[in-house]
Structure 1
Amino acid sequence: MRKSKWMWIGVMVSLLTVPAFAQAGSRYTDGFRGIAWGTHKDQLPDLGLSKKALGRIYKSGPSAVMFMEGQGNLAMDFSGVALKSIFLRFEDQRFSGADLIFSPADRAKIHSVLAVEMGSQGKSRDGAVQWTAAGLVIELTERELLVAHHPR
């Protein structure tokens, strides 16, 4: 009897903490890995990229810089899943999104992490799963996690 009582208490605590994660929002609510949404390219922290790479962030319009293992200093993982590459996206030299590329075999694990974090399984859309919250659109495809910030 005592063992089942503790089991039920554990289940109840687990159920009570899931909404807390969902209410807290995504790890991307304020930015990506310490870089706030809307940061101008001149205010970026040291990303370990060359001036030439940073020069690919255009004065107007969309642009991106790429990180791979051994290139730049971003950690190449997502909650323990190895990433093949990360693209930081910019619009008019302001940080606006991130694309994380992974092996298709890791999609289910990434979906599980996001479902807990976002408090839902997401909405299916054109073969992808999508979550929207707080000016963010998070989309999971077969091999990419696309995070885009759209200021209100």
Structure 2
Amino acid sequence: MEAGIAAGKPPVILSVHSFTQAWKGVPRPWSAAVLWDKDPRLPLPLLKALHTIPGAEIGDNVPYSGQLKGDTLYRHATLRGLAHALVEVRQDLILAAEGQAEWGAHLARVLNDVLRAAPGLHRIEHHGSNTGACCGKDHDHG
């Protein structure tokens, strides 16, 4: 990460997790979701690209929020001004090898498209945080 920043090409940070298909007996309808805070550079193109997956219900900051002070993305990306997002995939869709291969292919295609087309991903930009925490010297506190 530091080498990329020093070389003038800051990395893009993506974290991939999974979530349960139900919580306390209530089904979760989303196939996948993007979690994010205030920096829209990666999340918005990711959301748009994920919506191209046939039959997939895509969530935005569900079933969890991407606004967590002190989490991995906050510490390694938000504070550094690196473009970032977290993708969550529903667990029942990736339990079997076929589902893992299918979602792996979806994510590879989507990420390839986004990384090629989205401008500004490899720049340091401080967007702040909805957590109320300060995230760098050049960001807006609003």
Q: Same fold (TM over 0.5)?
A: no
Does 1 or 2 have the higher relative contact order (CA < 8 Å, sep 6+)?
2
**Could you say which structure has the higher strand fraction?**
1
TM-score for the superposition, normalised by structure 2: 0.26
TM-score for the superposition, normalised by structure 1: 0.25
